[in-house]
Amino acid sequence: MFKRMVRWIKATFTVLGMLVVIIVATPLSEYLSQPLRLEGQPRHAQAIVVLGGGASKDGYASIPSLARAVYGFSLFRAGYAPRILLSGGRATPKDGPESLAMKKLLQDIGAQSSLLETEDRSTRTYSNAQESARILQPQGATRILLVSHPNHMLRAMWTFEKAGFTVYPAPIPWDRFTEKNLSLDRMRLFESALHEYGGLVLYWWRGWI
């Protein structure tokens, strides 16, 4: 029994080791991610919706939230829409409200508070869409530019379309590999792709897309 368990453990680690080598040494993660990624379609809309990507409990935006907020505000400043909505509450009880952290970040770099609308009740992509619809649609805003990371774009777009929006994808344009961190970037991309495929299955099963 013990020898069989040892063989099983060795086989498991061998398979995992081979998988890691394949992920970091080949473009597997890029291939997996490709169907998830949509081309950016910056065009004039009635609102820009920026999806939060995390925030610390003391109110600081994570790197993903920072990138999304800055890109969304750049689209707003370029005149693609007359309003911008920062969407995201506490993803977990230990996190801070994502929308308020993004607002603080943009204010710190010079944005006027009065230009930054926030929605801080949502905890996932589905509720991002529902809460954004609650705010925007009664005011006639149904055509939106949707800002998120590239791998998240497909699930986000389908979820917002299900909520009644016409969605123009606006994935952040800075999500690129670097030669220095290629192996780590590929591991992160692989994890992100698996998360998104799982999310698509869950959202389809629940009728959210």
Q: Could you tell me if 117 and 84 are in contact, meaning their C-beta atoms sit under 8 angstroms apart?
A: yes
Residue 79 φ/ψ region, left for φ over 0, alpha for ψ in the -120 to 50 degree band, beta for the rest:
left
Could you read off the pLDDT of 72-97 as tens digits, one per residue?
A: 999 999 999 999 999 999 988 888 99
Residue 85 confidence (pLDDT): 97
Band of pLDDT at residue 30, cut at 50, 70 and 90: confident
Residues 103-119: what's their mean pLDDT? 93
The Cα–Cα gap between 195 and 7 comes to 30
Is residue 16 predicted with pLDDT exceeding 50? no
Domain ranges of the chain: 42-171
CATH architecture of 42-171: 3-Layer(aba) Sandwich (3.40)
